[in-house]
Chain A
Amino acid sequence: GAVVSQHPSRVICKSGTSVKIECRSLDFQATTMFWYRQFPKQSLMLMATSNEGSKATYEQGVEKDKFLINHASLTLSTLTVTSAHPEDSSFYICSARGGTQETQYFGPGTRLLVL
């Protein structure tokens, strides 16, 4: 099946620093990628949708200046959490859409802990 990689898998940072998370579709081209956040025992919350070569579309309540998304190629999207605060600590999961059925495949997730 389709493979989506995400890096890093785990990151601990100090409050006020920025963290970049990479998402790659390894064996297919993804015109659309999605970024989700998930808090413990809660469902996935869509943060933003990004299309290759254009600006991301953010969900209501998600600050675009805080969560910078770049989708520079058909296989790579990045999420940068700027000036991270402890409340940004969460599980961030990217997803890439592709294949004949336009299925969404998920990356393994990045666990962010802001101290």
Chain B
Amino acid sequence: GQNIDQPTEMTATEGAIVQINCTYQTSGFNGLFWYQQHAGEAPTFLSYNVLDGLEEKGRFSSFLSRSKGYSYLLLKELQMKDSASYLCAVRNNNAGNMLTFGGGTRLMVKP
């Protein structure tokens, strides 16, 4: 089976940096995705990592270490609109390349 863990909630201050961690255990790893989901809306794609290292995209960066089963999403220069849930999802090529989602991390950005 698969196991994906991420913190349930985090709080950070506007303008600061926050790191959301995700650990996973899976066979057939074929990529890790981060999605952002605002309350009452569907998830939107943020980033994709399949090789070790850091992928940077504007204020958001995502890191992957396959040997450690670990990823993080880094958000810089936090804005109030970044308050949302952040979902870590692992793709498994032993399961038809389906995504398995973690429970999500609810981030609250305070002024």
Contacts and interface: CB of A to CB of B under 8 A. Distances in A.
Interface in B39-85: 40-45, 48, 50
Nearest to A94: B42
Report, as a range, how many residues of chain A touch the other chain: 20 to 34
A101 interface: yes
Contacts of A107: 42
A101 B98 contact: no
A35 interface: no
A89 to B, nearest CB: 14
A108 B41 CA distance: 6
Interface residues of B, number: 22
Contacts of B99: 34, 104
A45 to B, nearest CB: 9
Nearest to A93: B42
A87 interface: no
Interface in A23-68: 32, 34, 43-44, 46, 49
B33 A103 contact: yes
Interface of A is mostly: strand
B97 A43 contact: no
Interface in B88-111: 89, 91, 96-99, 101-104
B104 A43 contact: yes
B6 to A, nearest CB: 10
Contact of B97 (A1, A46, A91, A102): A102
A49 B91 CA distance: 14
Interface of B: 31, 33, 35, 40-45, 48, 50, 87, 89, 91, 96-99, 101-104
